[in-house]
Amino acid sequence: MKGRIIGDVGAYPLGIFLPLIAGRILPGAYDIGNGDVEVLAVYTNKTPLAAYRGAGRPEGIFFIERMMDLLADELGMDPAELRLRNMIKPEAMPYKNCFGWQYDSGDYPGTLKRGLKLLRLRELESWVEEESRKGRMLGLGYAFYVEITSGGPFETAKVSLGRDGTVSIVVGSTPTGQGDATGFAQIAADLLGVDVGRVRVYWGDTGLIGEGVGTFGSRTITVGGGAVIEAVSEVLEGLRAKAAEMLGVEPERVEYRPGEFYVADSPEDFVGLWDVVEQLYRELGEGASEVLSAYAKYDPRKPVYPYGLHVAVVEIDPGTGVPRVVEYRSLDDVGRIVNPMLLEGQLVGGIVQGIGDTLYEEMVYTSDGYPASLSLADYGVPTALEYPDVVEIHFQETPTHHPHGTRGVGEIGTIAAPPAVARAVEDAVRRYTGRRGFRVRRLPVKPEDILAALSAEG
């Protein structure tokens, strides 16, 4: 692999690292042994570049997946077969790509094969071909991605048990609408064996917790959740001696299962969690609160890498050149799932955002560097009208090294959707004109680009 990436970082070096991320993820899911890619960050008089959902990974995966499709065209090969032949094998994991990033785990060929069947790709190809013969301007595209999430340096949490049967969690990370607080509450509730409605989650207050890193890089549940798990474990470990005393056995004979401490070699002998809490309050009064709380600082040690297959069907109005995604299907390996509803919300939101990146969104500048996209009236954000008619989402769970086994999902859609949708636009134009010359090389794909291609091909 040889290439050059030039990143327009604007007037100040806020996002100077983003082109580098694009370069390092550039090999994607493929066993590319050698790479020589020059990455340049260029200052201009535009608005400074900063991290956006995906942060360099959408560009890198777009590049490699476009190359795979174009190479398949040149070789006259099935794009799926070309990908399978070049994918990293599961026995090679952990695998360090040619630019130094070490993928933690994954069966990429197996997931692609499973995705082709589960997402019914061949049937979808046949349907697109049949509808195209009837005069509809339809195209199909798909992309296989791998991305990096859940990096360091650390995240913090404090867990406290109240006399009234409530659990308080304070986290150093800051949820920003993704539903992470619900995820934290579920993690603690499952470990402790309490109703999730009795768990309260707090954040954003240095009076409650002194440090934390932040919400970015699809890390909040994975890294922040790791801190919650460690804090819960420390609280329970601190209660083991009192539970053993109440059971009349040595502490090393006592284990915990959701809701109760029990004697390992006599599991029918147990004492409830809240009975232990109440006993400590009787003996220590308000001083029990110190025993009933714990602080943890979780170090993720290394990032993890979600991966999967995304498929898009696009229909274009041949009169206006306006494209629209009518169907979208996906299979993602997300590690262990904490909350399916939150997971689906994150994935669908990212997919729609990725569709926007591909078909609608562009920051336009005048020739002398002044922004021309001054409001949402000038900037094409996808709405419910642009949402695909059919969205079909599937997951597989391969646990990671994190204590709860998650991978991080917040940016998957913005990374996987652009190459899949771009290929679908390309395929639609080619099917409609009967010629193979049209290629998508830049985003967004504008109606005028499509009309120009139709005119040239016609």
CATH code of 272's domain: 3.30.365.10
For residue range 3-41, list pLDDT tens digits in order.
Answer: 999 999 999 989 999 999 999 999 999 999 999 999 999
| Residue 356 pLDDT greater than 70, yes or no | yes
| Residue 346 pLDDT greater than 60, yes or no | yes
User: Which of 5, 16, 106 is CA-nearest to residue 59?
Assistant: 5
Helices (H) and strands (E) in the chain, counts: 12, 15
For residue range 278-325, list pLDDT tens digits in order.
Answer: 999 999 998 898 899 999 999 999 999 999 999 999 999 999 999 999
| Residue 458 pLDDT greater than 60, yes or no | no
| Residue 95 pLDDT greater than 80, yes or no | yes
Helix (H) or strand (E) holding 394: strand 390-396
Say which residue the tokens 């949490």 belong to. 157
| Residue 171 pLDDT greater than 90, yes or no | yes
Residues of the domain holding 76: 62-149+303-457
Paired with 171 in beta bridges are 157, 203
Q: Is 209 among the domain residues?
A: yes
Question: Beta-carbon neighbour count of residue 286 at 10 Å?
Answer: 8
Q: Is 35 among the domain residues?
A: no
The stretch 332-349 carries a mean pLDDT of 93
Single out the residue in 266, 298, 330 at which a domain terminates. 298
Exposed/middle/buried for residue 72 (C-beta within 10 Å: 0-12, 13-18, 19+): middle
Among left, alpha and beta (phi > 0; psi -120 to 50; other), residue 390 is: beta
Give the span between the Cα atoms of 243 and 411, in whole angstroms: 44
Helix (H) or strand (E) holding 283: helix 273-284
Q: Is 14 among the domain residues?
A: no
Q: Are residues 159 and 131 in the same domain?
A: no
| Residue 456 pLDDT greater than 90, yes or no | no
Q: Is 223 among the domain residues?
A: yes
Describe the strand order of the beta sheet including 390-396 as a list of residue ranges: 138-146, 307-316, 323-333, 390-396
Average pLDDT, the chain: 94
Give the span between the Cα atoms of 383 and 392, in whole angstroms: 19
| Residue 457 pLDDT greater than 70, yes or no | no
Q: Are residues 242 and 138 in the same domain?
A: no
pLDDT at 198: 96
Q: Are residues 91 and 199 in the same domain?
A: no
| Residue 426 pLDDT greater than 90, yes or no | yes
Does the reported pTM lie above 0.85? Answer: yes
Cα 77 to chain centroid distance, Å, stands at 30
Give the span between the Cα atoms of 392 and 172, in whole angstroms: 35
pLDDT at 377: 85
420 within 8 A of 391, measured Cβ to Cβ:
no
Q: Are residues 202 and 161 in the same domain?
A: yes
pLDDT at 436: 81
Give the span between the Cα atoms of 178 and 87, in whole angstroms: 32
Q: Is 33 among the domain residues?
A: no
Provide the pairing of β-strand 95-96 with 254-257.
unpaired
Single out the residue in 298, 313, 329 at which a domain terminates. 298
User: Which of 359, 420, 357, 431 is CA-nearest to residue 391?
Assistant: 420
pLDDT at 218: 92
Q: Is 42 among the domain residues?
A: no
Helix (H) or strand (E) holding 427: helix 412-433
* Domains of the chain: total: 2
Tabulate helix, strand, coil % of the chain (nearest 5): 40, 25, 35
Q: Are residues 133 and 166 in the same domain?
A: no
For residue range 100-132, list pLDDT tens digits in order.
Answer: 999 999 999 999 999 999 999 999 999 999 999
Q: Are residues 444 and 315 in the same domain?
A: yes
Number of C-alpha atoms within 13 angstroms, CB side, residue 14?
Answer: 12
Give the span between the Cα atoms of 226 and 297, in whole angstroms: 9
The dihedral of CA 316, 322, 328, 330: what is its sign? positive
User: Quick one: tokens of 225?
Assistant: 């959740």
Percent of the chain with pLDDT over 70: 100
Q: Is 53 among the domain residues?
A: no
Give the span between the Cα atoms of 444 and 249, in whole angstroms: 68
Q: Are residues 364 and 268 in the same domain?
A: no
The stretch 89-108 carries a mean pLDDT of 96
Give the span between the Cα atoms of 171 and 184, in whole angstroms: 9
Q: Are residues 323 and 370 in the same domain?
A: yes
**What is the C-alpha R_g of the chain?**
26
Q: Are residues 378 and 405 in the same domain?
A: yes
pLDDT at 368: 81
For residue range 66-80, list pLDDT tens digits in order.
Answer: 999 999 999 999 999
Question: What separation in angstroms does the CA of 342 have from each of 172, 195, 346, 408?
Answer: 20, 19, 6, 12
Q: Are residues 166 and 294 in the same domain?
A: yes
Q: Are residues 196 and 105 in the same domain?
A: no
Q: What is the DSSP letter of 251?
A: G
| Residue 443 pLDDT greater than 80, yes or no | yes
Q: Are residues 308 and 453 in the same domain?
A: yes
Single out the residue in 240, 264, 298 at which a domain terminates. 298
pLDDT at 47: 87
Q: Is 224 among the domain residues?
A: yes
The stretch 215-226 carries a mean pLDDT of 92
Provide the pairing of β-strand 266-272 with 390-396.
unpaired
171 within 8 A of 87, measured Cβ to Cβ:
no
Q: Where are the alpha helices (DSSP H) in 323-391?
A: 340-359
Question: Beta-carbon neighbour count of residue 3 at 10 Å?
Answer: 13
425 within 8 A of 444, measured Cβ to Cβ:
no
User: Which of 324, 447, 311 is CA-nearest to residue 387?
Assistant: 324
User: Quick one: tokens of 272?
Assistant: 């409830």
